[in-house]
Amino acid sequence: MTARVELNGRWFDATEGRDLLSTCLENGVDVPHFCWHGALGSVGACRLCAVRVYSGPDDTMGRIEMSCMTPVRDGMRVEVEDAEAGRFRAHVIEWLMLNHPHDCAVCEEGGACHLQDMTVATGHRNRRSDAPKRTHARQDLGPFLTHEMNRCIACYRCVRFYRDYAGGTDFNVFGAHDRVWFGRAEAGALDSPFAGNLAEICPTGVFDDKQWSQHYARPWDMTETPAICTHCSVGCNITLHERAGTLRKVQNRYHGAINGFFLCDRGRFGPWFVDAPGRITAPRQNGTAIAPDAAIALARQAVADGAIGIGSPRASLEANFALRELVGPDRFFAGVSDAEAAQVARMLAILQTTPASLATIKDFESADAALILGEDLTATAPRAALALRQAARGAEKALAGEKGVPDWLDQAVRVAGEGRRSPIAIVTPLPDALDDAATHPLRRAPDQVATFGFAIAAALRGEPSDPEAQAVAQALAAAHAPLLVSGIGLSRAEPAEALASIAAALGAKARIALFPAEANSFGLALLSPKGGLESALAANPAPLIVLENDLYHRADSATVNALLSRAPLTIALDCLDTATTARAALVLPVASMAEATGTYINNETRAQRSLAARRPTDAAPAAWRVLAQIGGLLGDAPRLDDVLAALAARSPALAGAALAAPPATALPAVARAPESYSGRTAHDLAGRVPQGTLPHQDPDSGMGWSMEGLRGAGVPPALSTGPHRPGMHSVSAAYAAQTTIGGPLKGGDPGVLLLVKSETQGQALTDPTPNGDGLRWLPLHSPFAATETDLASPPLAARAPAQHLLLHPDDATRLGLTAGAQTLVDGQPCAAPVTLDAAMPRGWVGLTAPRGRSPLVTLGAVP
Amino acid sequence: MIGILSSLMRIGRMLGAKTQTRAYPEEKPVLPPRYRARIILTRDPDGQERCVACNLCAAVCPVDCIDVVKAETEDGHWYPETFRINFARCIFCGFCEEACPTSAIQLTPDFELADYARSSLIYDKEHLTIAGEGKHPGYRYWDIAGKAKTEAEAPPVDVRDLLP
C-alpha cells in the first residue's frame, strides 16, 4: 500500500509498513547507519539511525526514533537533520569510538571505512574520555582474512551474515556485556566458503582481505575495473583493483540479478592466479625462448597445414570465436570431453524449449519451493547455494507476516517464524552442505538421481510414484514459484533431462537453473563446436591449437595423451604453465582475465563483459588478438568491437554479446582511477606528463586508463564500479547505486540474455552404463578449487582440500582396503588415502578428479 | 623638484646603512626551524622509523610526488617498504607534514637541493631518513595506535570471564 511521507521537507511515495531507513536511503535521503545492511535487514542494535519522526501535520513535538525499526505510516514527517537527533547520533558515535583504536593510519580499511564515513558524517572529532581503551586478542583466520578485534564496535553484522545468512557454524560471538569478542573457538581458517564476505560486511577493519593487506594500496590509490568472475558458471560481477601493474584487491560489484551484495571465496580469491609465479611471459619452442615473430610464423604454417582448434570453456567468447575463424568451423572442437560438450549443448536446448522461466540467482531467494537434482551446489556454483539458503526462510517470513511481523524485522521474523522452512529437496549421492537448509535431504546413487527426478515428474502428472517423490512433487505443485536446479556436477546428462520433464509437468510457474561447469561453457557451446576432444581425436591427425585450456582438467588423460602425442605439432596459448603447455611444442603467452577484455556467457545465457584491469604486455596480448594476428584476420590492429561485429555477422544468435557493454568509441571514456589517485609524479618522467607516451583510451572498452573521464552517476552500469558519492567511500554504500535496496542497479543490471526460446524439442540424452570391472566414479567437488586457474591462485591453493577418496566400508572390505590405506587408481598411486564413508553408495568410489575422466575406476592396494 | 631632492636624500641616507645583500653561498642564511624545504623522515625516541606507510602524505600532496608502499612486520607494525619523493616536482607546501599522523615526515630549512639531473632529485627512503626525532621529540605513534601491543595499553580482555 502506498503511503505519502515527508522526508527532510520533501514528499515521497513510499510503501506503508516498510522500514523508514530503507525508504529514506532509496529516496536519496542519507541517514547514518551501522547494523542495518541491505541483505540482512534491521535489528536495531547500534542506535545510529535515529531521526525525529512526527506522526502527522498536527504533531509539533515529534520524537526520536530508530529509522531502521520504524514502519512507514501515511502522513508521517521525518527530520533527519533535526538538532536533537543529530546530537543523539553524535553521542552514539562517541560511544562507539570510546574503545576504537587510534589506528586509521595503519588500518587497511582506512579510506573505505563505513565507521570513518559515519564518524565524519556525525561530526565527532575528539575523544573526551582518557580512560584506557579496551583491547582484545587477535586470531589467525587462515589465508583469506585478517582479524583485529580491537577495532570492533559490536554491530553483529559478521555473525548475522556468517551464521544466519550463510549458514556457517564455526564462527560466533563470545563473552559478555562490553567485552564481546567475535571469532572462532580455536584459531584456524573459517569453514564457510563465503567467509571472505566478512571483509566487506564488517563496517570497520576487524575483518579485512588478507590478500589485499599483503599487496596493499590505499583505496583511493587503486584503479577500479569492472570484471566478471571466471571461476564458475554463475558469472558474478567483481571489481579488480590494480596499482603499479599488480592486482591488489578483488571486491564484489553489485549486480541486482546475480551476485547482489556477496561473492564466494573462490570468486574473491580466484583472480589471484593472474600474478601467480607460473605466468608465461615469452613464447617458447620446446622449452627454449623464441622470437614472437618466429612463433607467429610457425603458428601460421600450422594453420596452413590444416590445424585443429581446441576451444576452452575458460576463455572468453571472443577468443573462442577468433580460434573458430582461424581454423574454420569444421575443425573447431570444444576443449572438453565429448560427453560434456553434448551435455552442455543439451542443457542449452532444454533451456530453449522448457516452459519454465530461467531463474536468476536473485530468483533463487524468492522461490517458495526448490528441488536440487544431483548437484553439489555449494561446490559447483557457490553463490547460487548462498541464494538458496535465503529461499529456505520464505516460509518463516510468511508465518511471521501472518502474525503482523514485517519481513525486514530480522530477529523478530526468526522468532515469530517458529523455524518454519520452505520445502527444499536436495537429491544427491552424498550428504550435502545445504542439507541443514533442506526439508527433504534425500540420498540416491548417481544413476538413481535422475530416476528419482523422473519419478517426481510422474507424480506431477498424476501417475503412481514412490512416496518420497510424491512428497516432493506435492511441495513443488503447491508452490507459486518452484525452483528447479541441476547441473553437470555428477558428469551425467540424465539429471538435466529429469529436470526438464519436471519443468514440463509444472508449466510456466516453474523457474529453472542449469549450471554448466565453467564461466564460458555456454559461450563455447553456442559457437557450435564439432564435438569434444574424443571427436578431435577421431578427426584426421593435424597440428593442434589449444586455447587457454589445461586439457588434463577437462578430459580423460588417456584421450588427452593420445591427442597430444598424435598431433604433429601442438601450439598452446595460455597465461599459465600447465600440464598441457608442458607437452606443447610451441607455447604462446596470452593475457589473463586481468589484462584481456572479453565476454562471458553465464548459466542463464547472460552475456557479460569483463574488462582488462591493466594494460596487457606486448609479449602477452589478449588471446583473440594473438589468434587474429596469426590468421591475419580483421586488419593490422583489430579491436574488440571488430571481433564482436564479425561474430554478429557470422552467428546472428550471438549478436547480443556486442551489447553487453558500450563500445570503445562511446566517448567520453570512463575513468579507471579515482580522482585522488596519488603518486603519479613520484617517478622520473623527464618532464613528460604522467600519462605521457601511452594512449589514455583503452581500444577494447569505453574506459580510459587514467584519472581522466566520467565517474559516479552517469557511468553506464556495465562500466560502473559503484556509486562513488562524496562522503561514501565504503562498500557498505553500494545501496546508493540501486533503484530499491537489493533491487536492480540504476540504469539497469548489466548483461544481455542471449537465449531464444524454441519449439524444437531436441534429442534427450542418456548416460551409458559402463561395461567392465571396477568401481564407478562419483565426482567430488570442492568450493575452493575446480580447475587449473583456481589451483594456481596462492590463497585458494592454501585452502583447497587435498584429494579425497571415499569408499563404502563394504566395498573396502571386498577390495581388502582399510581406512587410511594407500591405493593405486587406474594403476597410478593416488595421493589421497582411503576414507571410509557409510554414506557412499555401494559400488561407487568418490574421487576428486578432473572432469571427464573415465567413469570406471580400478582401485587396488599399493603392493 | 622637491620630489627629486627627497628621493636623492633618501638614497643618500641609505649609503651608510647596513647592506641587505648576502654573499650567498659563502655566507649561509639562518632560517627559522619552521622554514619549509628539504623533506626528511624522522625516527621515534627508540630509534625506530616513525613512518607507518599510511599514505596520507601521498594523498594530500597537490603535485602527487610522493609514492609509498606499505609492508608489515610479524607483530603487525606497518612500515614503508619504499618511500619516494620526487623533488623535481615537490613545491614544498608542507601539506604532507600536516597530514602525517606520526610526525614522521617533516620539512627542514635545508633548501639547497638543486641538481643537474632530474634523476638525482628522486629521493628514496635511505636518502630521506635521518637519525633523530626532528621537531616532535618524545612522540611514539604506536603507544596510542591500539594495534600493535605496547605497555601503554590495557591487557586483552578474557572473553571467558563473566565478572562485570
Residue A439: per-residue pLDDT:
95
Mean pLDDT along residues A361-377: 95
Q: Could you give the percent of chain B with pLDDT greater than 70?
A: 99
Does residue A330 have a pLDDT over 80?
yes
User: Where does the pLDDT of residue A689 fall: very low under 50, low under 70, confident under 90, or very high at 90 and above?
Assistant: low
pLDDT at A256: 95
The DSSP 8-state label assigned to residue A322 in this structure reads H
How far is A855 from A534, CA to CA, in rounded Å?
A: 15
How do residues A151-172 score in pLDDT, each as one tens digit? 999 999 999 999 999 999 999 9
The dihedral built from the CA positions of residue B151, B156, B162 and B164, taken in this order, carries a sign that is positive
Residues of B in contact with A679 (CB under 8 A): 58, 64-68
* β A237-243/A223-228 pair status: antiparallel
Instruction: Give me the interface pTM, i.e. the ipTM.
Output: 0.89
What torsion do the CA atoms of A430, A432, A435, A440 make, to the nearest 10 degrees? -40
- Please report the pLDDT score of residue A670 as a whole number: 92
Query: What is the pLDDT at residue A488?
Result: 94
Closest C-alpha to A789, from A590, A584, A548, A596: A548
Interatomic CA distance for residues B111 and A319, integer angstroms:
57
Distance CA A373, CA A126 (A): 58
Beta-strand runs (E) in A612-766: 670-671, 703-704, 752-753
pLDDT of residue A374 exceeding 90, the answer is yes
Window 213-272 of A: residues touching B by CB (8 A cutoff) are 213, 216-218, 220-221
Give the integer Cα–Cα distance in Å for A503 and A461: 11
Which whole number is the average pLDDT over A687-696? 60
Query: Residue A611 burial (CB < 10 Å; 0-12/13-18/19+)?
Result: buried
Residue ranges matching CATH 3.10.20.740 in chain A: 2-96
> Residue A452 burial by CB count (10 A; 0-12/13-18/19+): exposed, middle or buried?
buried
Portions of chain A given CATH number 3.40.228.10:
353-516
Contacting residues of B for A691, CB less than 8 Å apart: none
Per-residue model confidence (pLDDT) at position B38: 95
Backbone angles phi, psi at A319, to 5 degrees: -65, -45
Most A CBs within 10 Å, among B142, B147, B163, to test the A interface: B147
**Chain B residues with CB-CB distance to A138 below 8 A:** 76
Quick check: A110 contacting B, CB < 8 Å?
yes
Q: How are beta strands A424-428 and A440-443 bridged, if at all?
A: parallel
Q: What is the average pLDDT across B88-113?
A: 94
Q: How far apart are CA A34 and CA A44, in angstroms?
A: 9
Q: Does B157 sit within 8 Å of A181, measured CB to CB?
A: yes
pLDDT at A687: 52
Please state, rounded to an integer, the average pLDDT across all residues of chain B: 90
- Is B59 close to A218, i.e. CB distance below 8 A? yes
Please tell me the predicted confidence (pLDDT) of residue B20.
Answer: 83
> Quick one: pLDDT at residue A685?
63
Name the CATH code of domain B31-139 (choices 3.40.50.300, 3.30.70.3270, 3.40.50.150, 3.40.50.720): 3.30.70.3270
A213-242: b (≥16 Cβ within 10 Å) or e: bebbbbbbbbbbbbbbbbbbbbbbbbbbbb
Distance CA A688, CA A708 (A): 17
Sheet with A223-228: list strands edge to edge. A223-228, A237-243, A246-252
pLDDT at residue A279, as a whole number: 93
Region of poorest pLDDT, from A22-31, A692-701, B78-87: A692-701
pLDDT in tens, A422-436: 999 999 999 999 999
Asked whether residue A304 carries a pLDDT value surpassing 60, the answer given is: yes
The confidence band for A809, taking pLDDT boundaries of 50, 70 and 90, is very high
Q: Do the beta carbons of residue A260 and residue A741 sit within 8 Å?
A: no
Put simply, the answer to whether B72 touches A676 (Cβ < 8 Å) is: no
Tens-digit pLDDT profile for residues A95-110: 999 999 988 999 999 9
CB contact under 8 A, A679 and B70: no
Q: Which residues contact A336 (CB under 8 A, 6 or more apart)?
A: A313, A344, A517, A521, A524, A532, A533, A554, A555, A851, A852
User: Which residues touch A358 (CB under 8 Å, ≥6 apart)?
Assistant: A351, A511, A512, A513, A604, A605, A753, A755
Percent of chain A exceeding pLDDT 70 equals 99
Hey, are the CB atoms on A102 and B146 less than 8 Å from each other? yes
Give the mean model confidence (pLDDT) for residues A712-722: 89
Q: Calculate mean pLDDT across residues A495-507.
A: 95
- State the pLDDT at residue A390: 95
Helix (H, G, I), strand (E, B) or coil at B14: helix
Task: Look at residue A701 and tell me whether its pLDDT is greater than 60.
Answer: yes
Facing A682 at nearest CB: one of B56, B66, B157: B66
Q: What is the pLDDT of residue B119?
A: 84
Superfamily name with CATH number, domain A353-516: Dimethylsulfoxide Reductase, domain 2 (3.40.228.10)
B154 → closest Cβ in A105, A132, A175: A132
Does the beta-carbon distance from A687 to B65 stay under 8 Å? no
Buried b (16+ CB within 10 A) or exposed e, A145-180: bbbbbbbbbbbbbbbbbbbbbbbbebbebebeeebb
If you average pLDDT over residues A658-679, what whole number do you get? 88
Q: Is the pLDDT of residue B159 over 90?
A: no
Minimal CA separation from A217 to chain B, in Å? 7
pLDDT higher at A129 or A606 = A606
Which residue out of A100, A106, A151 would a mutagenesis test of the B interface target, given it has the greatest number of B Cβ atoms within 10 Å?
A106
Mean pLDDT of chain A: 92
Amino acid letter at B120? S
Residue B64 with chain A: CB contacts under 8 Å: 677-682, 690
| Angle at A39 (CA atoms; ends A370, A148), nearest 5 degrees | 120
Q: Which of these, A772, A37, A61, A779, lies nearest to A376 by C-alpha position?
A: A779
Instruction: Give contacts of A687 with chain B, Cβ < 8 Å.
Output: 118
Instruction: Please tell me the distance from the alpha carbon of residue A628 to that of residue A302, in angstroms, as a whole number.
Output: 14
Model confidence pLDDT, tens digit, residues A38-75: 999 999 989 999 999 999 888 999 999 999 999 999 99
B→A interface, C-beta within 8 Å? 52, 54-56, 58-59, 61, 63-70, 72, 76-78, 84-86, 88-89, 101-102, 118-119, 122, 141, 144-147, 149, 153-157, 159-162, 164
Strands A598-601 and A606-610: antiparallel
Please tell me the predicted confidence (pLDDT) of residue A119.
93
What is the percentage of chain A residues whose pLDDT exceeds 90? 79
Is some CB atom of chain B closer than 8 A to the CB atom of A140? no
Query: Residues of B with CB below 8 A from A681's CB?
Result: 63-65, 86, 89
pLDDT at position A692 is 55
Beta pairing, strands A237-243 & A544-547? unpaired
A176 touches chain B (CB under 8 A): yes
Sequence spans of domains, chain B: 31-139
Express as a percent the part of chain B with pLDDT over 90. Answer: 64
Averaged pLDDT, A656-680: 89
CATH of A775-861, one of 3.40.50.300, 2.40.40.20, 3.40.1160.10, 3.30.1360.120: 2.40.40.20
pLDDT > 90? residue A83? yes
Fold annotation for A2-96: Ubiquitin-like (UB roll) (3.10.20)
Q: What is the three-class DSSP state of A424?
A: strand
Q: Do B64 and A181 touch (CB under 8 A)?
A: no
Q: Contact at 8 Å (CB) between A234 and A717?
A: no
Q: pLDDT tens digits for A228-237?
A: 999 999 999 9
Q: Which amino acid is at A230?
A: T
Q: Could you give the C-alpha distances from A623 to A295, A663, A765, in angstroms and in order?
A: 14, 19, 33
Cβ-count burial B85-95 (b if 16+ within 10 Å, e if not) = bbbbbbeeebb
Q: Which has more pLDDT, A196 or B17? A: A196
Chain centroid to CA A219: 22
Q: How far does A472 lie from chain B, in Å, by closest CA?
A: 46
Find, in chain A, the residue whose alpha carbon is nearest to that of B59. A678
Interchain pair A133, B66: CB under 8 A? no
The per-residue pLDDT for range B106-156, each reduced to its tens digit, is 999 999 999 998 888 999 999 999 999 999 899 999 888 877 777 777 888
Q: Taking residues A608-632, what's their average pLDDT?
A: 93
User: What average pLDDT does the segment A651-659 reach?
Assistant: 93
